[in-house]
Amino acid sequence: MDEIRQALGAPLSRESGESLSDQIVRAVAARIDDRHLRSGARMPSIRQFAKAHGVSAFTVVNSYDRLVAMGYLESRRGAGFFVRERAPLAPQRQPAEASVAGRPLDVVWLIRNLFRQAPPQFSPGSGVLPAEWLDGPAVSNALRAIGRQNSHGLLAYGTPAGFLPLRQQLQRKLAELEIAAEPDQIVTTVGVTQAVDLVARELCQNGDAVFVDDPGWFLMFGSLSMQGLKVIGIPRLADGPDIAQLAALAAQHKPRLCIITSVLHNPSSTSLSAAKAFQVLRLAQEHGFAIVEDDIYCDLHPGAPTQPVTRLAALDQLQQVIYLGGFSKSMSANLRVGFIATSRERAQRLTDRKMLSTLTTSELTERVVYKILSEGVYRKHADRLRARLDAARPKALREIEAAGLHVPTAPPAGLFVWADAGRDTNVLAERAMAEGILLAPGSLFSPSQLPSTFMRLNIAALGEPTVWRFLQRELAR
Amino acid sequence: MDEIRQALGAPLSRESGESLSDQIVRAVAARIDDRHLRSGARMPSIRQFAKAHGVSAFTVVNSYDRLVAMGYLESRRGAGFFVRERAPLAPQRQPAEASVAGRPLDVVWLIRNLFRQAPPQFSPGSGVLPAEWLDGPAVSNALRAIGRQNSHGLLAYGTPAGFLPLRQQLQRKLAELEIAAEPDQIVTTVGVTQAVDLVARELCQNGDAVFVDDPGWFLMFGSLSMQGLKVIGIPRLADGPDIAQLAALAAQHKPRLCIITSVLHNPSSTSLSAAKAFQVLRLAQEHGFAIVEDDIYCDLHPGAPTQPVTRLAALDQLQQVIYLGGFSKSMSANLRVGFIATSRERAQRLTDRKMLSTLTTSELTERVVYKILSEGVYRKHADRLRARLDAARPKALREIEAAGLHVPTAPPAGLFVWADAGRDTNVLAERAMAEGILLAPGSLFSPSQLPSTFMRLNIAALGEPTVWRFLQRELAR
């Protein structure tokens, strides 16, 4: 019976708002994509499946039929249902190169897995907080409240630059970070991902060099590389970029843009020191490149009174620095609300570009974020989130070390730990995947994609004993 | 007092869910951007404004202060508040050229105006239905219902290809149009605008030629041109593209892509004949270009039993045709839900590309659309919408002709009328703007941007006598 339950991965819920059949289809499809269920594997019979999951045979028949229609299963007459042979999802791993520009991206495979709803307890490689750490009721309450208001505002296109009350709220949020930005300097986007896409399209042309943190946020490498840009990694140290390397590479490549996460860098959760921040800005001025400061983890940082923090935009006041923020990590990734803060003139040009890419963003989701921000609910939620992460971090670090991993820089805040496994984490991640565990190997976080002994672990997704057993066993080999 | 009311454009609402101060700021800013309020104009005094609009002096002070901070107004000591001198929003009109590739777009100016929430009765050039024609309660009800469900689904990233139940619903919708598409052939997007952006980025490279309808949807010209593509217009006749021209231009330019609105073409509301559809597909095969069929006005068409209709995707079954649809015109532009239907393999590649552009789309807005579609509310709403347009059309056509305009092809369905004013409609649109009326001059609908005597009128936005008085007076000159 256990084996049959495994066909599904997670228990069915009658309260999720999703039909049982939808849940079965989604879960089985995910397990096939994730290779938990292998090509050719026989599915439980209708009767067995129905009994194991407490659903009607009708529901199972309907779900299996849909999975056949979607190409996941095939029905063999008299023999039952089998997982169908599928074309591989992504090209084979390519040999490492200095730049990812122009070639198929390996990261796509991991991204597909990371952004599917896998059970969080088996996803220590995940980049987000589990749903139960977030403030679901705040989102639901905001939706019901907006659903009771006059509906006219929910029908027309929103304002091109974004919902004005939200931009005014963001002005206040930025002021607290010592960044002065009027509402007409702020443009909302479909998450930070669209912000990076728009800024790079505005400032760069095909073949231009763009600097990123190495290690850094891999989706961004893909996005820049898709635009035909030369993505060049700047070694990231515990207190920020390697300045000597940054200077040398800037002289060599004349980049248009340097993208940096100054606060709680992904994957290491370390932050930029004041001295490094100043040096980065000087180099930007000397070599004439713009800086994109990606501050998506802003609200996971306790703030200057508790831990030192320096933002590039606070020093430079949006002259050479373009500041990006959003709420996918700390409120809801689903809403897709991010923003750009920059000079008035550049904000106008980015708004025009946004119109040509997605016309406007959804004002509905921006109203939800505005409501949660403006009513003070969010501030309390962020406080709780940080307290919970702070409570989980020491235990996680102890267990990581006990499992045989080494953490060179233990972060004092944030979601991630960048840990050294002492062996190729690509191999480790492949073995983990075979056991239904999602790891994030270090190779993905470098534009070179070279094999790495590091991997990223999510402090909020380390509770499952199976994961520790796997790591201990593998690292003891 | 009338003059003071005019500073605002539309009455304030205490039930809109937006604060009075937010409403004042938005309305005054819009009237300044729209040039209803000219640079240097003196604003009503705090006391006059408060009295005229029945709000407190405090609210007015707060609103004026915010407008000063935003750069719209300036305060002159002892003299009051004045509209500030602002830099022009867009570059001066450029001389017409054969292609818009690579140069600043004139359309941006109109787009900015069209996508601001101007009073619909003064916007016969608008491209959308007024909010009161749409089913606001359906959206509000869906929001409240989703707000009562388990909130977990509102927090995590959605599925990369889009909310599965919605894609299943779209499969059924497409089946009714005789287009067979499994859910894994469908990718949701941020409106049709993102769909065009993704498809063009997937299929074309810098410098490639792309064919569009001329006249056609101007935002698309801007989007393609931003990508460095050569945008070439194919003359659009009453029954579809000029086939001889299409053949000649295809031989000359070897386009990668031809984008066509087959049903209720914008701006003429005419549709492709069966014979033309077949000829277009033959040329696509002969010259090896893909076809993007933009079917955004789908649900404003009564369907084959009532009026003949031929969709390219129904003939070709998503081989060379990539089908785009969405709900911005007939349900809500605010939700930003569109989709692409194509081959399985291309859908996977477009999903990867979507992830690199916006990661996922908001599952929340897709759940709203799914709920409205699946509960049958939408079908009834679309029926009512068509009936209301059918009732308004004959009167609108009579009044258009009476005002001195000529409509060469009176459309039997849809939202628009493409009318000939017998004089340069750029000039007409500028005069209209000075009187607070938004027209959509023909030059905008052509990639050549040449002056045109045509303009687009929105049947649902022609009720205001001021508009008719303006047109009669101007066209009698």
| Distances from the Cα of B319 to the Cα of B200, B239, B263, B363, angstroms | 17, 23, 19, 28
| Chain A residues whose beta carbon lies within 8 Å of the beta carbon of residue B154 | 136, 139-140, 143, 332, 334-335
By Cβ distance, the residue of A128, A184, A363 closest to B334 is: A363
| Chain B residues whose beta carbon lies within 8 Å of the beta carbon of residue A11 | none
Looking at chain A from residue 340 to 379, which residues have their Cβ under 8 Å from any Cβ of chain B?
Answer: 344, 348, 352-353, 355-365, 368
Has residue B426 been placed in a domain? yes
Q: What is the pLDDT of residue A98?
A: 30
Has residue A11 been placed in a domain? yes
Q: What is the pLDDT of residue A405?
A: 96
Q: What is the pLDDT of residue A38?
A: 80
Mean predicted confidence (pLDDT) in B228-254: 96
Query: B103 vs chain A: nearest CA distance in angstroms?
Result: 13
Of residues B253 and A84, more confidence is placed in: B253
Looking at chain B from residue 92 to 131, which residues have their Cβ under 8 Å from any Cβ of chain A?
Answer: 105, 108, 111-112, 115-117, 128, 131
Looking at chain A from residue 124 to 153, which residues have their Cβ under 8 Å from any Cβ of chain B?
Answer: 128, 131-132, 134, 136-137, 139-144, 146-153
Q: What is the pLDDT confidence band of residue B226, given thresholds at 50, 70 and 90?
A: confident
Q: Say yes or no: A182 and A219 in one domain.
A: yes
Q: What is the pLDDT of residue A16?
A: 67
Has residue A95 been placed in a domain? no
- pLDDT higher than 90, residue A382: yes
Has residue A129 been placed in a domain? yes
Q: What is the pLDDT of residue A52?
A: 86
ipTM greater than 0.85 = no
Verify whether the Cβ–Cβ distance B153 to A219 is below 8 Å. no
How do residues B327-381 score in pLDDT, each as one tens digit?
999 999 999 999 999 999 999 999 989 998 998 999 999 999 999 999 888 999 9
DSSP assignment of B98-163 equals: S--TTS--THHHHHHHHTS---GGG-TT-SS--GGGS-HHHHHHHHHHHHHS-GGGGTS---TT--
Q: What is the pLDDT of residue B57?
A: 81
Lowest pLDDT segment from A110-124, B16-30, B301-315: A110-124
Looking at chain A from residue 215 to 244, which residues have their Cβ under 8 Å from any Cβ of chain B?
Answer: 219, 222-223, 226, 228
Verify whether the Cβ–Cβ distance A17 to B70 is below 8 Å. no
Has residue A99 been placed in a domain? no
- pLDDT higher than 70, residue B17: no
- pLDDT higher than 90, residue A1: no
Has residue A167 been placed in a domain? yes
Q: Say yes or no: B38 and B144 in one domain.
A: no
Mean predicted confidence (pLDDT) in B31-58: 83
Q: What is the pLDDT of residue A105?
A: 33
Q: Say yes or no: B54 and B64 in one domain.
A: yes
Has residue B329 been placed in a domain? yes
Q: Say yes or no: B37 and B145 in one domain.
A: no
Residue of B nearest to A20 (CA): B165
Q: Of the candidates B333, B357, B374, which is a domain's last residue?
A: B374
Q: Say yes or no: B126 and B43 in one domain.
A: no
Mean predicted confidence (pLDDT) in A53-72: 80
Residue A26 belongs to domain spanning: 2-83
CATH of residue B52's domain is: 1.10.10.10
- pLDDT higher than 50, residue B104: no
Q: What is the pLDDT confidence band of residue A284, given thresholds at 50, 70 and 90?
A: very high
By Cβ distance, the residue of B66, B191, B359 closest to A219 is: B359
> pTM score, two decimals?
0.79
Q: Say yes or no: A188 and A243 in one domain.
A: yes
How do residues B193-221 score in pLDDT, each as one tens digit?
999 999 999 999 989 999 999 999 988 99
Verify whether the Cβ–Cβ distance A365 to B361 is below 8 Å. no
Q: Of the candidates A375, A393, A409, which is a domain's last residue?
A: A375
How do residues A238-255 score in pLDDT, each as one tens digit?
999 999 999 999 999 999
Of residues B115 and B255, more confidence is placed in: B255
CATH of residue A291's domain is: 3.40.640.10
Q: What is the pLDDT confidence band of residue B90, given thresholds at 50, 70 and 90?
A: very low
Q: What is the pLDDT confidence band of residue B286, given thresholds at 50, 70 and 90?
A: very high
Q: Say yes or no: B349 and B416 in one domain.
A: no
By Cβ distance, the residue of B19, B26, B115 closest to A355 is: B115
Of residues B41 and A240, more confidence is placed in: A240
> How many domains does one find in chain A?
3
- Amino acid, res. A332: S
Q: Say yes or no: B204 and B282 in one domain.
A: yes
Has residue B91 been placed in a domain? no
Q: What is the pLDDT of residue B37?
A: 81
Q: Say yes or no: B111 and B142 in one domain.
A: no
Verify whether the Cβ–Cβ distance A154 to B334 is below 8 Å. yes
How do residues A432-468 score in pLDDT, each as one tens digit?
888 888 899 998 899 988 889 999 999 999 988 999 9
Q: What is the pLDDT confidence band of residue B28, given thresholds at 50, 70 and 90?
A: confident
Q: Of the candidates A375, A401, A434, which is a domain's last residue?
A: A375
Q: Say yes or no: A162 and A130 in one domain.
A: no
Query: B420 vs chain A: nearest CA distance in angstroms?
Result: 28
Of residues A113 and A236, more confidence is placed in: A236
| Chain B residues whose beta carbon lies within 8 Å of the beta carbon of residue A334 | 153-158, 360, 362-364
How do residues A145-196 score in pLDDT, each as one tens digit?
999 998 888 998 888 999 999 999 999 999 999 999 999 999 999 999 999 9
Q: Say yes or no: A300 and A356 in one domain.
A: yes
Q: Say yes or no: B422 and B340 in one domain.
A: no
Mean predicted confidence (pLDDT) in A384-400: 96
User: Closest Cα partner for B173 from B454, B376, B414, B425?
Assistant: B376
